[in-house]
């Protein structure tokens, strides 16, 4: 046993060494400022893997490691967690139109930007003489922070925890044709009818307007405030990304175009080796004669804050089912808990889903959870709550790998029949198994891919040869407005000239002598 562990350690150290031979160990600063735990879970394995390969990694986030790790330093901004639960409750309960929604996220992202720059510990780091070769930043409306790349004269990599949208596209000059690529916050799929395409176009325009009228000027102002002497132009910095890693993959969403330095890495957070479960949980799953169910509404929605009616409905449904249910529930007490329900504040979700006897995942349809469900081929009952979860749910429904239940208004019958449908109708499991096979059929594991491209960028000084020239063109050039104008102008001239001659000759024929006679009379 011990020798095995020892050999494995030696082996992994050796593999890291040969891999690093070509790439110099870099000093990396990673900034993931948001209080939503899933956004950090998405990148944690990636950042740790970089450290394990010999890079010096410094991470600014709200989630410092509990145990210290080699080559890994945390700069905690845990203060951003204050008031976060209230924000989430507000996001979930308030109805908003598109513009208000954009404002909401704008406030949220501005808060995220400021929480980094205001932090005394971050300021201390900035004042120090420490140098970084590479900045890895959450690609989500944080331009004043992107500018740190300029501050350190470092390379810049973005990680998007959901996929791409118009703001992220601009970082690498990516194209998302609005006719078949829906905005992540819409509930549209890639196949849109006329009205849906109209809606997508309209929302796209609102998005662009909001971005250029409010978000970017605001980020420029924040940058000016915190770096009064900086010569960086945040509009130039945001076009200077070497790479964006996108938590997406065509096998779990839909195919779409990407520029060469936009790389899909969905699933990079999932460990390839399932961990061992605690004995009582393993037994609870194994003892379920007709299968076990895992139920979690994610890290943002707290089950303990569900209304009394919702809790009561959930328990009545669970009690009526012949399955064992693991429920991620954040309190220690659940009065009247049915005997076939096991509650815990936290479960090793991926390890649970890896169990063959777990047959169904009742989920908020967050992207990480959805990806884990597909990774482990477990069908879903989805209860989306906010942000991109509705879009994920739309894909789940379309793909036929799960059934939707309305979180806001579900009844006993709706929830129960959804669970029974997915448990007893084999088509959901079969479909997600097929999807899972497609997702796993890749030349590289997602995490290896993320590491490969990160080090590729380091090896090739930012890999400018991978960037499309779109980044050097202005709006008019990019959209070919100047050349179009010349072409259309030319076409009009060519068309109009003969018409003009025809018109002149016809006019002369008709009016010909008459005109002259008139003139004479005058
Ligand atoms: C969640 O519920 C607890 C009581 O169980 C309450 O004190 C707290 O304010 C609630 N949180 C939110 C964000 O509503
Ligand atoms: C900006 O430059 C001025 C003049 O050189 C200097 O006094 C000031 O400390 C600098 N501010 C910062 C934040 O570096
Ligand atoms: C863009 O990045 C390169 C390094 O890859 C750097 O030399 C250059 O100054 C950056 N430009 C801007 C505008 O930040």
Domain ranges of the chain: 24-270+445-475, 279-440, 481-521
> Is 516's pLDDT higher than 90?
no
> Is 475's pLDDT higher than 80?
yes
pLDDT number for residue 407: 92
Top mean pLDDT of 52-56, 87-91, 306-310 is at: 52-56
At residue 376 the predicted structure's pLDDT band, cuts being 50, 70 and 90, is very high
Please tell me if the CB atom of residue 85 comes closer than 6 angstroms to any atom of ligand 1: yes
**Which of 35, 84, 91, 305 should be mutated for ligand 1, with most atoms under 8 A from CB?**
305
Picking from 259-268, 342-351, 477-486, 501-510, which range would have the lowest pLDDT averaged per residue? 501-510
Picking from 80-94, 157-171, 236-250, 318-332, which range would have the lowest pLDDT averaged per residue? 80-94
Q: Give the pairing of strands 358-363 and 292-296.
A: parallel
Please tell me if the CB atom of residue 467 comes closer than 6 angstroms to any atom of ligand 3: no
Please tell me if the CB atom of residue 305 comes closer than 6 angstroms to any atom of ligand 1: yes
Q: How many other C-beta atoms can be found within 10 angstroms of the C-beta atom of residue 410?
A: 18
Q: CATH code for 24-270+445-475?
A: 3.40.50.2000
Please give the distance, rounded to the nearest whole angstrom, from the Cα atom of residue 219 to the centre of ligand 2: 20
Please give the distance, rounded to the nearest whole angstrom, from the Cα atom of residue 75 to the centre of ligand 2: 25
**Distance from C-alpha of 253 to C-alpha of 256, rounded to nearest angstrom:** 9
Nearest CA to ligand 2 atom 3: 229
> Is 520's pLDDT higher than 90?
no
Please tell me if the CB atom of residue 304 comes closer than 6 angstroms to any atom of ligand 1: yes
Which atom of ligand 2 sits closest to the CA of residue 229?
1
At residue 459 the predicted structure's pLDDT band, cuts being 50, 70 and 90, is very high
> Is 257's pLDDT higher than 60?
yes
Nearest CA to ligand 2 atom 9: 229
Top mean pLDDT of 103-107, 326-330, 443-447 is at: 443-447
pLDDT number for residue 212: 92
The reply to whether 24-270+445-475 and 279-440 are identical in fold is: yes
Picking from 163-167, 323-327, 444-448, 468-472, which range would have the lowest pLDDT averaged per residue? 163-167
pLDDT number for residue 1: 56
Average pLDDT over residues 120-133: 95
Picking from 192-196, 276-280, 387-391, 513-517, which range would have the lowest pLDDT averaged per residue? 513-517
Which atom of ligand 1 sits closest to the CA of residue 86?
13
Which atom of ligand 3 sits closest to the CA of residue 233?
13
Nearest ligand for residue 226 CA: 2
- CA geometry: angle 233, 475, 157, nearest 5 deg: 50
Non-local (6+) Cβ contacts of 265 within 8 A are 46, 245, 246, 247, 249, 446, 447, 449, 450
| Phi, psi (deg, nearest 5) at residue 27 | -95, 115
What distances in angstroms separate CA 500 from CA 64, 386, 473, 496, 509, one per listed residue? 76, 61, 38, 6, 14
Superfamily of domain 279-440: Glycogen Phosphorylase B; (3.40.50.2000)
Nearest CA to ligand 3 atom 2: 240
Burial of 229 (0-12, 13-18, 19+ CB in 10 A): exposed
pLDDT number for residue 228: 94
Top mean pLDDT of 91-105, 304-318, 335-349, 423-437 is at: 423-437
With 0.85 as the threshold, say if the pTM is over it: yes
Nearest CA to ligand 1 atom 7: 305
DSSP letter at 383? -
pLDDT number for residue 508: 87
Please tell me if the CB atom of residue 135 comes closer than 6 angstroms to any atom of ligand 3: no
**Ligand 2 binding site (Cβ under 6 Å of any ligand atom):** 228-229
Average pLDDT over residues 327-351: 90
Non-local (6+) Cβ contacts of 319 within 8 A are 338, 340, 341
Nearest ligand for residue 231 CA: 3
pLDDT number for residue 298: 87
pLDDT number for residue 373: 97
At residue 162 the predicted structure's pLDDT band, cuts being 50, 70 and 90, is confident
| SS3 state of residue 140 | coil
Asked if 298 and 373 count as a contact pair (C-beta separation under 8 A), the reply is: no
């Amino acid at each position: 046993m011990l020798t095995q562990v020892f050999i494995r350690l030696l082996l992994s150290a050796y593999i890291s060494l040969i891999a690093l031979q070509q790439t110099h160990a870099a000093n990396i600063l990673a900034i993931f400022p948001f209080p939503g735990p899933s956004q950090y879970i998405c990148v944690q394995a990636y950042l740790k893997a970089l450290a394990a390969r010999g890079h010096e990694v410094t991470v600014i986030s709200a989630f410092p490691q509990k145990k210290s790790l080699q080559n890994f330093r945390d700069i905690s901004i845990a203060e951003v967690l204050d008031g976060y639960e209230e924000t989430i409750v507000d996001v979930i309960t308030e109805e908003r139109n598109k513009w208000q929604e954009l404002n909401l996220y704008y406030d949220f992202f501005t808060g995220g930007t400021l929480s980094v720059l205001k932090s005394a510990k971050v300021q201390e780091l900035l004042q120090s003489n420490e140098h970084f070769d590479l900045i890895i930043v959450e690609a989500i409306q944080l331009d004043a922070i992107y500018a740190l790349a300029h501050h350190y004269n470092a390379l810049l990599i973005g990680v998007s925890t959901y996929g791409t949208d118009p703001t992220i596209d601009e970082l690498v000059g990516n194209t998302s044709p609005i006719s078949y690529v829906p905005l992540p916050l819409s509930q549209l799929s890639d196949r849109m009818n006329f009205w849906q395409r109209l809606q997508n176009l309209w929302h796209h325009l609102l998005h662009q307007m909001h971005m250029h009228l409010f978000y970017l000027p605001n980020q420029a102002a924040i940058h000016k405030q915190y770096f009064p002497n900086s010569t960086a132009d945040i509009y130039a910095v945001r076009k200077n990304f070497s790479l964006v890693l996108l938590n997406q993959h065509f096998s779990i969403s839909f195919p779409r175009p990407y520029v060469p330095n936009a790389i899909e890495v969905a699933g990079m957070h999932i460990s390839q080796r399932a961990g061992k479960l605690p004995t009582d949980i393993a037994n609870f799953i194994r003892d379920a004669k007709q299968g076990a169910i895992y139920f979690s509404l994610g890290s943002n929605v707290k089950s303990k804050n569900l209304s009394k009616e919702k809790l009561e409905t959930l328990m009545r449904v669970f009690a009526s089912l012949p399955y064992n249910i693991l429920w991620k529930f954040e309190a220690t007490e659940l009065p009247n808990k049915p005997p076939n329900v096991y509650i815990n504040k936290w479960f090793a979700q991926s390890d649970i889903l890896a169990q063959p006897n777990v047959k169904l995942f009742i989920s908020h349809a967050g992207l990480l959870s959805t990806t884990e469900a597909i990774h482990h081929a477990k069908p879903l009952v989805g209860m989306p709550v906010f942000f991109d979860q509705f879009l994920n749910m739309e894909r789940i429904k379309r793909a036929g790998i799960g059934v939707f239940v309305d979180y806001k208004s579900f009844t006993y019958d709706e929830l129960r029949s959804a669970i029974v449908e997915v448990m007893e109708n084999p088509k959901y499991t079969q479909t997600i198994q097929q999807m899972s096979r497609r997702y796993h059929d890749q030349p590289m594991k997602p995490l290896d891919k993320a590491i490969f491209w990160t080090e590729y960028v380091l090896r090739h000084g930012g890999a400018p040869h991978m960037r499309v020239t779109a980044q050097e063109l202005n709006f008019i050039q990019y959209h070919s407005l100047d050349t179009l104008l010349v072409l259309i102008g030319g076409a009009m001239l060519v068309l109009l000239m003969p018409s003009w001659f025809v018109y002149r000759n016809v006019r002369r024929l008709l009016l010909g002598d008459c005109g002259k006679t008139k003139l004479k009379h005058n």
